[in-house]
Amino acid sequence: MLHPPSSAAAELWAQRPVVLTFFSSWCTTCASSQAALSELARSYRDRVVFVGVAGADQADEVQDYLRAHRVEYPVVLDDQQTIWRSYAVREPPAVVLVAKGGALLRGWPGGLDASTLDQRLRELVLADQP
């Protein structure tokens, strides 16, 4: 599901931490890691919000990517790369972890694999939760 960017981001991280995944439809590294990211998003769905941020791309190509890779979490099209710039993302992939309340916890230019992200979520976000 492709959404236009909005200022509702604060609502996302008011209750839960947020993982922002920055990608483009033409990014082969993004495509190869998408299934594992989607699985991780499913396993954390009640505790962490995942949001994809597509940039440097066309809406129809992003829609094709979302269908082909069965991306089940919300995705925004950042066609002006405003969100990308605000997190200093220059090229895909990249992953950013935002704490509950909106504080930036950590960013990974070049992305990271799902098992490492899982470990970081456990360390940085979920350690103090039951």
The pLDDT confidence band at residue 125, using thresholds 50, 70 and 90, is confident
Q: Given this model, what pLDDT does residue 126 score? A: 74
For 16-45, what is each residue's pLDDT tens digit? 899 999 999 999 999 999 999 999 999 999
d(CA 76, CA 72): 13
Specify the higher pLDDT residue, 74 or 15: 74
What percent of the chain lies above the pLDDT cut of 90? 74
CA angle 65/38/99 to nearest 5° reads 115
- Bond into 93 cis (ω within 30): yes
Q: Given this model, what pLDDT does residue 83 score? A: 93
Longest CA–CA span in the chain (Å) reads 41
Quick one: 87 exposed, middle or buried, by C-beta within 10 A (0-12, 13-18, 19+)? middle
d(CA 19, CA 121): 9
3-class DSSP assignment, residue 59: helix
Q: Given this model, what pLDDT does residue 15 score? A: 83
Mean pLDDT along residues 80-90: 94
What percent of the chain lies above the pLDDT cut of 70? 88
Which domains does the chain possess? 1-6+24-103 (3.40.30.10)
Amino acid at 63: Q
Q: Given this model, what pLDDT does residue 101 score? A: 86
Helix axes 59-69 and 28-43, enclosed angle (nearest 10) = 60
107 CB neighbour count, 10 Å cutoff: 15
Mean pLDDT along residues 88-99: 95
Q: Whole-number mean pLDDT of the chain?
A: 89
pTM equals 0.89
